Structure 1
Amino acid sequence: MNTVSGIEISVTENGIQPADFESLYSIVSGGARQDPHRLLLGYPDGTVLTRAEVDTGIRAVAAALAERGVRHGDRVAILGRTSMEWVLLDCAVLALGAVVVPIYPTSSPSQIEHILTDSGSTYFAAETDDDAVRLLAAGAGAVFTFTEISRWAQGAVSADPEAPTADVGADDLAMIVYTSGTTGLSKGCMITHRNMYTSAANTVRQTGALFDGTTVLALPLSHVFGQTMLFACLFGGTETYLLPGIPDLVPALTRLRPTFLPLIPYGLEKIRKHCRTLLAEGAEREAVTRGLELLRRRDPALPVEPVASALGGRLRHVISGGASLDDSTAGFYAGVGVVILNCYGLTEAATAVTVNAPETNRLGTVGRPIPGTAVGIAAEDGEVLVRGPHVTPGYWGAASEQRPVDADGWLHTGDIGELDDGHLRITGRKKEILVTSGGKNVAPTPLEDRVRLHPLVSNCMVLGDGRAYVTALVTLDAERAEQWRAEHPDSDPSTAVQAAVDEANELVSRAESIRAFRIVAGDFTIANGLLTSSLKLRRAAIAEAYADDIRQLYVARE
């Protein structure tokens, strides 16, 4: 670690990069040549294809796309959940040198229309007929369905396995991934083959033998984190089973028996709440205490029943990214035999910037830079800066004049952090830090994460910018709240939520603590525009929708 021009820097050398003529498809084709019989991609029912079978399917889909006119540089918009068809289509589009434009299945009509228009997509694919109708309504032309793609995968292929990628280079555009858009229209971030290749390959290098195992990928391939984990698994030769989404994960674990999982905190929280139902009273808290101590000492975590069996019996590690993770969740999993490896990234760096490795995992951090990456901390405001071959060349379409990278090659992330012996610790977000009227800086995310862990709580947003003290809006899980009221007819749910708030306040000083909260009607959802497609809070929209509740939180005290 060193300092250059006022920037504290952590650098990891010796990164893997593709040759200039290599594309993302070469990860698959190269693996098929080297070890054709290795099991690679699986269906939810446990049926699994070898590297050679996956490669054959990709080339068949690429041939079908080429017959229908798809050419180098064409944008292909894809709307659907994670599946074998998504992966085969994804790789086939890239093999032809065309550009993947992912769309969240939960996107609104206006969001779909914006992505199609801004990207200039001319080819379209959808998981279902209903999804096809949504694309057509947003202005799409003819739409291919995943059912057709499955048929194409069984078709004829070129005798020359290199034919599809003859004209594709590492610096060609591979994807246009639209950011979450917490404050407005989403921006189309350009990701090249080199960007994604280096992110995926160096994530594998950083984590040692982790990817030489079995996993279940339930992350959305419409998100850059899902894409990076997919190509990391393809690069590492991981036996990877594909599920439509996180709700399908819990019942599949005992059948598919992963050795590691890539997940977001939302998924970890869902699994933790399921595991809670299997444990005796007090066992969860004991697991958290035991696990945190194991993580601090960096001692191995031993599997604990009955949770270990519910997780498939072989799960030992989780790579967690996409949002912050509460330390108590990391402690709980370590206490039952699963170590969480926090990572950090953003769309503009093909999601991979840092990741903890099993041997050097450090609680409370998001790991060291992946090989080939430099991470800096700006002296003036603590902003996290990133430099490396995985950083985007810029934005597409309407946002093309915006520059995420400065003249010195640093990507400005908007996150606030610090370096601890080369490990990065994220402490807040520039635009989300609350400053109370007393001048106290408050990071809302750790408080929100902790409150949201309570079984009754669905979501939470912390407030206090420009105010005398910190408050929170809380929504309840409708099903659990109904059950709780039936079991506690003489009590109010606010008494239970208060316990969650009290626990969250233990994380911070009194000046940063939640002084009051209000349980509000409804929930924060993608459908009502209060969450982004990647489940981030749209803070301004929530504040507007619940303006009267916020006023009530402060009117009696200020």
Structure 2
Amino acid sequence: MPDTLLSAFDAHVTADPDAVALRSGDGAVHWTRREYAGRAVRLASAFSALGVRPGDTVALLVGNRPEWQLSDLAALMAGATPFSLYVTAPPPESAELVARAGARLLVADPDLLRAGHVPAGVPVVTVDELDRLPADPAFVPHEPDPDDVATLIFTSGTTGRPKGVELTHAAIVFQLRALDSVVGLEGGATVSYLPHAHIVDRVIGHYAALVGGTSVTTVADPATLFDVLRQVRPRLFTSVPRIWQRIERQMRDLLRDGAGQEQLAPRFGLDGAQWLITGSAPLPAPTHEFFASVGLPLHDLWGLSETTAVATYTGPGDAYRDRAGTVGRPLPGTAVRIDDDGEILVHGPHLARGYRGDPQATADSFVDGWFRTGDLGEWRGGFLRVTGRKKDLIVTAGGENISPSRIEDILAESSLVDQVLVVGDGRPFLVALVVPDFTELALHGLHGAPEQVVADPRTRTLLEAELDTANRKLGKAERVRAHAVLPRAWTGDSGELTPTLKLRRAAVERSHRAVVDELYADGGANRV
């Protein structure tokens, strides 16, 4: 039988049908592999009765609950390509993606469904109806080919219209086999708590069960994440810098209150973890150093949707001192090289087939078997260091080519900095827009409304000291000459962050154009 998501899962069902495959964090759902497979076949039959055929697409607007994994698997069994929508995205944006993907059906959580979510003519089934849908008596589960598209991942659209990344069964299976070679997945546990529209949750919170044989627990309420982690004690856990920094703050509080280092991992449900992963954005070095110091080293992974999440990794055996500042080595069975202009290129079986309905973008990005990532990098020994985004390069009035993300990463090493954006394209020097971490400022005695805290001279003094420290790590042309401290964080609702919390640089610059212009008009004087 061809090696696909369905054949891999079938092998696990046959090997140990009574092993737990999927459960909810509240314990209401607890399905064995046999039960999970049986429910998926029945739902696939219902999808077929609704007219879903091999080659169709099925859109999913469902949060972190088992019905999402079930619906996704059922769509695959019906021969369709399932894809997920961000539950926080504006309905018109979601409707556009549903239309572009040509969805034959939308499965939705009724609590998430809003007016404008569904283009005309697309039928909707709610998760509350799944058990009551009539079946197709003639249905036979589809047997996909490895090169069939298993999902679409729409890119975050930081610089333009989101592209639909087509990931095949073969690419996903290869990725999970590679991860399994780093830390054995069979019999382990993972959690699903990140957005399903992001490739990371699909890999860790769904495909790890189908291909790797893990048990997946869904986390419906982010506030209960640590409670669920204590129940599950996952073997593999991945998160983004913001959450790792939140855990760091809580752990530091526990240590100040007299807790021992040995108590930290069990307190957060991480005592069973063999591989703790950080990704999506650079993690400040002080946070890395803290976790290493308490015996919970975090490991960087780097990749994109087009590489099925992971292109390079650092494994459990890599000491932090040897890999600091890097994103590791190429995934087993793949290759990474740096092009003449510094762009990182990736080659391997885990690459996407291309972009749905966009042959020009596919031809531009996938060249002779290599994917042009758009990221810039350099080798440090056998480890890759990402230095910035090709499209984000700033060219100053003096002709200097500067990566703003490198500077932002250094500025963000300060615990007082929550968000930061460096500006300077076509300008004589660089300036920064800084959103402070108000929780950290409160530890320095700065309380009150954000506007009051930002206006307090002590805030200016503290942040100027932090920027001075950062500037000492930068070359002359990279130094930030002036900055403005802002009282409001950039959010997805304001259009300044993507659903994956990446900065939409142009949007931030537009909304703060007057502030930036004043910084330059003042010749580099700081503003609050």
Segment drifting more, 108-117 vs 242-251 = 242-251
Matched, 1:261 2:243: no
- 1:497 maps to which of 458, 463, 473: 463
Amino acid of the structure 2 residue aligned with 1:429: R
After TM superposition, the score normalised by the length of structure 2 is 0.87
Matched, 1:310 2:267: yes
Counterparts of 2:417 and 2:359, CA distance in 1: 37
Partner residue in 2 for 1:51: 33
SS in 1 for 2:180: helix
Partner residue in 1 for 2:215: 239
Partner residue in 2 for 1:122: 104
Amino acid of the structure 1 residue aligned with 2:242: Y
Residues 143, 381 of structure 1: alpha-carbon distance in 2 compared, 3 angstrom cutoff: same
Structure 2 stretches lacking a partner, 5+ long: none
- 2:59 maps to which of 60, 77, 99: 77
How far is 1:464 from its partner?
2.3
Q: Which aligned pairs between 1:432-471 and structure 2 lie closer than 5 A? A: 432-449=392-409, 451-452=411-412, 457-471=417-431
How far is 1:264 from its partner?
2.2
Amino acid of the structure 2 residue aligned with 1:464: G
Amino acid of the structure 1 residue aligned with 2:336: V
Q: Which aligned pairs between 1:155-170 and structure 2 lie closer than 5 A? A: 163-166=140-143, 168-170=144-146
How far is 1:73 from its partner?
0.9
Matched, 1:39 2:15: no
Matched, 1:368 2:329: yes
Q: 1:152-178: per-residue Cα shift (whole Å, max 9, x none)?
A: 69x989999xx4133x11111222211
Segment drifting more, 531-540 vs 240-249 = 240-249
Segment drifting more, 325-334 vs 211-220 = 211-220
- 2:91 maps to which of 105, 109, 115: 109
SS in 1 for 2:103: coil
How far is 1:228 from its partner?
2.0
Residues 52, 275 of structure 1: alpha-carbon distance in 2 compared, 3 angstrom cutoff: same
Residues 426, 452 of structure 1: alpha-carbon distance in 2 compared, 3 angstrom cutoff: closer
Q: Which has the higher contact order (CA 8 A, sep 6+)?
A: 1
Matched, 1:474 2:456: no
Segment drifting more, 407-416 vs 456-465 = 456-465
Q: 1:229-282: per-residue Cα shift (whole Å, max 9, x none)?
A: 23134322223221136554234333333343122223222322333433329x
Segment drifting more, 446-455 vs 104-113 = 446-455
Segment drifting more, 172-181 vs 535-544 = 172-181
Counterparts of 1:268 and 1:91, CA distance in 2: 31
Residues 451, 244 of structure 1: alpha-carbon distance in 2 compared, 3 angstrom cutoff: farther
SS in 2 for 1:104: coil
SS in 1 for 2:434: strand
Counterparts of 1:159 and 1:120, CA distance in 2: 25
Amino acid of the structure 2 residue aligned with 1:408: D
How far is 1:72 from its partner?
0.4
Counterparts of 1:456 and 1:247, CA distance in 2: 24
How far is 1:416 from its partner?
0.9
Counterparts of 2:129 and 2:484, CA distance in 1: 50
Counterparts of 1:413 and 1:114, CA distance in 2: 25
Partner residue in 1 for 2:189: 214
Residues 276, 502 of structure 1: alpha-carbon distance in 2 compared, 3 angstrom cutoff: farther
Residues 485, 415 of structure 1: alpha-carbon distance in 2 compared, 3 angstrom cutoff: same
Segment drifting more, 490-499 vs 417-426 = 490-499
Q: Is the 8 A contact 2:49 2:135 kept in 1?
A: no
Matched, 1:180 2:146: no
How far is 1:450 from its partner?
5.0
Residues 245, 431 of structure 1: alpha-carbon distance in 2 compared, 3 angstrom cutoff: farther
Amino acid of the structure 1 residue aligned with 2:171: N
Partner residue in 1 for 2:353: 393
Counterparts of 1:363 and 1:204, CA distance in 2: 24
Partner residue in 1 for 2:167: 191
Counterparts of 2:186 and 2:241, CA distance in 1: 20
Residues 447, 218 of structure 1: alpha-carbon distance in 2 compared, 3 angstrom cutoff: farther
Amino acid of the structure 2 residue aligned with 1:221: H
Counterparts of 1:409 and 1:471, CA distance in 2: 40
State the Cα RMSD in Å: 3.1
Residues 401, 436 of structure 1: alpha-carbon distance in 2 compared, 3 angstrom cutoff: closer
Matched, 1:224 2:199: yes
Counterparts of 2:518 and 2:44, CA distance in 1: 58
Partner residue in 2 for 1:298: none
How far is 1:201 from its partner?
2.0
How far is 1:310 from its partner?
2.5
Q: 1:103-152: per-residue Cα shift (whole Å, max 9, x none)?
A: 1111123311220221111200112344254423x446331122223x36
Q: 1:171-196: per-residue Cα shift (whole Å, max 9, x none)?
A: 11222211111112111111111122
How far is 1:439 from its partner?
4.2
How far is 1:363 from its partner?
2.7
Structure 1 stretches lacking a partner, 5+ long: 1-18, 285-302
Q: Is the 8 A contact 1:316 1:337 kept in 2?
A: no
SS in 1 for 2:295: coil
Q: Is the 8 A contact 2:418 2:436 kept in 1?
A: yes
Q: Is the 8 A contact 1:383 1:413 kept in 2?
A: yes
Q: 1:338-359: per-residue Cα shift (whole Å, max 9, x none)?
A: 1212111111122221222212
Q: Which aligned pairs between 1:520-531 and structure 2 lie closer than 5 A? A: 520-531=486-497
Matched, 1:545 2:511: yes
SS in 1 for 2:378: strand
Partner residue in 2 for 1:355: 313
Counterparts of 2:385 and 2:87, CA distance in 1: 32
Residues 202, 556 of structure 1: alpha-carbon distance in 2 compared, 3 angstrom cutoff: same
Q: Which aligned pairs between 1:81-100 and structure 2 lie closer than 5 A? A: 81-100=63-82
Counterparts of 2:253 and 2:145, CA distance in 1: 51
After TM superposition, the score normalised by the length of structure 1 is 0.83
Size of the aligned set, in residue pairs, is: 512
Counterparts of 1:429 and 1:245, CA distance in 2: 33
Q: Is the 8 A contact 1:451 1:457 kept in 2?
A: yes
Q: Which aligned pairs between 1:2-21 and structure 2 lie closer than 5 A? A: 21=2
Amino acid of the structure 2 residue aligned with 1:544: R
SS in 2 for 1:531: coil
Q: 1:492-540: per-residue Cα shift (whole Å, max 9, x none)?
A: 4333333443454454334423332111243211111101111110001
SS in 2 for 1:533: coil
Amino acid of the structure 1 residue aligned with 2:378: E
